[in-house]
Chain A
Amino acid sequence: MIIDRQARIVEKKNWGRYFLFRLKSPEIARSSQPGQFLMIKVSETTSPLLRRPLSLHYRSNQEVEIFFQATGMGTELLSKKKAGETLDILGPLGRGFSLNKEFKGKEVFCVGGGRGIAPLFFLAKELQLLGARPTIFYGGKTSGDLPLRSKLEEAGLEIKISTDDGSTGFRGLVTSLVENELQSQKPAFVYACGPEAMMKKLSEICLKNELSAEFSLESIMGCGIGACWGCVRPFRKNGEIHYLKVCQDGPVFHSREIVWMGE
């Protein structure tokens, strides 16, 4: 865990409400794992008060990338930052995806809905290094929600696209696309990040098909370091339900542990 108060925005990209920042932060880059996140200060004032948690989209030797959607006051302010400016970032935080050496030579699914694609690029690149064969399922409401499509393709990743309105790729939910694919092949593991409803549906599919899965969850966070106990959700542990901290016990959890909203 490092506070980098001078992480320079080296590059900024923008597609509608979606943004990608490449930040120079060598120390954080060095210790980052896929599925971990950063807490980013978005304002110099006390409104909004809290840092914003954003998952690590990628890291190289010296740099980390974040990919986010401007959805509220915090991310809106962040999206206004320009290349060349610096950010106060804290990270890498949390427990990321587990990378199993036994996945070598095997097929794994990475399922992302909308901005949930963010942590899956870093993950898929690491899986490739392990010798696994990741397929990214990338779903959105419409073609405008899939700005990273070409980036993923250029990185040589196997990708399957879906949109709710059929404007590009498979017409329907990304989970239906996964179900279709399961008829021809069964992956060794499933990773996912996206809207609650998508992940809930996917966890049912994984249960039915006896697939192990890890999901990255979102939560409103106070501190990101396990001090405030504000970001908890209910989880199943040893047959009991307990509140666990998304920031420290997660943000990645095994799908069987997760109690979905409304359950």
Chain B
Amino acid sequence: MTMVDLSVDLGFIKLKNPVLAASGTFGYGLEFKPFFNLDMIGGFVVKGLYFNPREGNPPPRLVETPSGLINSVGLQGIGVEAFCREILPQLDQLDTAIIANVCGEEEEEYARVAEYLGRFKGLDALELNISCPNVREGGKCPAQDAEATYRTVRKVKQVASLPIITKLSPNVTDIVSVALAAEEAGSEGISLVNTFLAMAIELKTRKPKLGNILGGLSGPAIKPIALRMVWQVAQAVKIPVIGLGGIFTAEDALEFMVAGAAAVQVGTANFIDPEACLKIIEGMKKWAEENGINRLSEITGSLKI
């Protein structure tokens, strides 16, 4: 049996395999070092970075729903300076793609964070988080509007020295128009989807279960909708698409690739199994072997209609 080539070339970055750990589910990477050699995965996207440290939303921040998880963490984090000073040097020795997730209160801050990150070595790309539902009133975010998306990506492109992946929100009526806006603004890649705006109620007390009232739903419950959106976007844009949303198994990941994703991100699954990414990579390799596929990237966009 020939060795399966798992590598993926996104143009702006080469991955040894198509599995990345998703932002917000993998800490700053170091949290998973006790469990496995991080060089084994395609890469990881670190937790969202604002310029300054951020306290996040009041607890409770988590609610379990059938096959799902609603979170309202609200991007609590150490800020970009502490990240570059304390974390990044510890990631430098790794031989895997490291992507920083860039956040901002307004367009200026996105640009400021992106520019700052560009001064350091060790990062391979930036993921623009214009789609977190937990940081603005009513779950609003730039990715809900094609024009705001264009403006934010454009602004960051002007100062960023690293390639940009724009992370889209599923909380829109027409995700394709937002993806096209990001592409037109110069984004090198697209990742989708972020979490679905959601809520949960404690009937006994009639109170919201989350401190922030609203949160973002992730996990297997959202997979079919995420898969549909990845398919729609992948047909419309020319830049590579990274698919995510409820990927828990190798089969899930492979389906996203068939729908058009060049690579995938694994999120919530990391919470349940710190080795989830590894298991998924192993399963994808086995599937390729069993199906006589020499280069896994061949299956991207191979949906038969």
Contacts and interface: CB of A to CB of B under 8 A. Distances in A.
Interface of A: 1, 3, 41, 46-51, 90, 219-223, 225-234, 242-243
B237 interface: no
Contacts of A243: 55-56, 59, 76
Interface string B268-288: 101111110000000000000
Interface stretch (B28-36, B137-145, B257-265): B28-36
A232 B272 contact: no
Interface string B86-126: 00000000000000000000000000000000000000000
Given A222-B271, A242-B55, A47 B73 contact: no
A242 B77 CA distance: 12
A230 B25 CA distance: 10
Interface of B: 24-27, 31-32, 34-35, 47, 55-56, 58-64, 66-69, 71, 73, 76-77, 219-220, 248, 268, 270-275
A222 B26 contact: no
Contact of B27 (A227, A231, A234): A227
A41 B25 CA distance: 18
Nearest to A223: B271
Contacts of A221: 62
B184 to A, nearest CB: 34
Max count, chain B CB within 10 A of own CB: residue among A219, A229, A234: A229
Given A49-B69, A228-B24, A232-B61, 16 more contacts: A49-B219, A90-B274, A219-B59, A220-B62, A220-B63, A221-B62, A225-B27, A227-B26, A227-B27, A228-B62, A229-B73, A229-B76, A231-B61, A231-B62, A234-B59, A243-B59
B270 A49 contact: no
B272 A230 contact: no
Contact of A232 (B25, B35, B56): B56
Given A3-B274, A90-B274, A227-B26, A49 B61 contact: no
A91 to B, nearest CB: 12
Provide the main secondary structure of the chain A interface: loop
A49 B35 contact: no
25 contacts: A1-B34, A3-B274, A48-B64, A49-B64, A49-B68, A49-B69, A49-B219, A49-B220, A50-B64, A50-B69, A50-B272, A51-B272, A90-B274, A220-B60, A220-B63, A220-B64, A222-B62, A226-B31, A227-B26, A227-B32, A229-B77, A230-B62, A231-B62, A234-B58, A243-B76
A222 B71 contact: yes
A41 B27 CA distance: 21
Nearest to A242: B55
A105 B34 CA distance: 38
Max count, chain A CB within 10 A of own CB: residue among B58, B268, B271, B275: B271
A228 B24 CA distance: 6
